[in-house]
Amino acid sequence: MEFITLTKENIASQHLCCAISDKKHQHGVDIKREWLASRIAEGHVFRKLNEKGKVFIEYAPLEKAWVPVMGKNFLYIYCLWVSGSFKGKGYAKELLEYCINDARQQGKSGVCILSSEKKKPYLSEKKFMLKYGFKTVDKTGDYELLALSFDGSQPEFTPEAKKQSIDNKQLTIYYGLQCPYIPNCIEQIDTYCTTNNIPVDLIKIDTLEKAKAIPCIFNNWAVFLDGKFHSVLLLNEGQLKKILGE
């Protein structure tokens, strides 16, 4: 199978894997495409299988990655996703090895990724990453920063990320522009909370500086309840009802 790396020249004509056929997320795809086009010059990489499927890796230089992680000269993997009938064919291995080789060729100090002790939705599985030499280099709560270091140096969560609390007690969601599913999730949450008079604070993370300063773990989404960090799990109306106990 052929892999394609998105460029400014081909990004308009290529699908973005995450939300290929779901019409309600196409607005989110357009937003992601625009966001991604602005990041390519910064060294952001989106590489995918040339098939109609969810098989891709997305990574960027850590200094330019919209996450509350700090370190010098690392690549940060946002997402490594292989789903459905494409599983079990070695695609995840190929994509990860491509990223690792890219890091070495660029003279980087290593590669890092957000994971967790126990498998969580939207995060790469720790067990898989350990097979390739990744190790836990920092942690906060149930979340871990894994890294494959070439020179012994290590990235770490920012001090802000380890706070995992805010003064605001109402439902608070920090969200980015990177995931195609997010705009529809935000619309559902805003509509439900408005209809049911539920106070909610929706905070758009639209700059690198804001992303680096977030007071919790964040890959492109973070939920707070009663002033405490809850999870990075994307929420639709049904999932929101569950966490609110309704």
Q: For residue 33, what is the enclosing H or E element?
A: helix 26-39
- Whether the pLDDT of residue 94 is over 90: the answer is yes
In the chain, ranges of CATH 3.40.630.30 domains: 3-157
- Digit-coded pLDDT (tens) for 198-218: 999 999 999 999 999 999 999
pLDDT at 101: 98
- Whether the pLDDT of residue 66 is over 70: the answer is yes
Average pLDDT over residues 214-236: 95
Strand order in the sheet with 200-204: 200-204, 171-175, 221-225, 228-231
Tell me which architecture the domain covering 171-243 has in CATH: 3-Layer(aba) Sandwich (3.40)
- Digit-coded pLDDT (tens) for 9-63: 999 988 887 766 667 778 888 899 999 999 999 999 999 999 888 899 999 999 9
In the chain, ranges of CATH 3.40.30 domains: 171-243
Check if the beta carbon of residue 28 is closer than 8 Å to that of residue 187: no
Average pLDDT over residues 102-123: 94
Band of the pLDDT at 245, cuts 50, 70, 90?
A: confident
pLDDT at 200: 97
pLDDT at 246: 63
Average pLDDT over residues 90-113: 97
Q: Which residue has the tokens 């390739």?
A: 132
Burial of 101 (0-12, 13-18, 19+ CB in 10 A): exposed
Per mean pLDDT, which range of 50-59, 99-108, 152-161 is the poorest? 50-59
**HSE-up of residue 209 (Cα within 13 Å, Cβ side):** 0
Listed residue (227, 232, 115, 82) closest to 164, CA to CA: 227
Average pLDDT over residues 139-163: 97
Percent of the chain with pLDDT over 90: 84
Tell me which architecture the domain covering 3-157 has in CATH: 3-Layer(aba) Sandwich (3.40)
pTM here is 0.94
The DSSP bridge pattern shows strands 74-82 and 69-70 to be: unpaired
pLDDT at 22: 66
Task: Write out the E strands in the chain.
Answer: 3-5, 45-49, 55-61, 69-70, 74-82, 110-116, 135-140, 143-149, 156-157, 171-175, 200-204, 221-225, 228-231
DSSP category for residue 226: T
- Torsion angle in degrees (nearest 10) through CA of 166, 219, 122, 137: -90
- Whether the pLDDT of residue 86 is over 70: the answer is yes
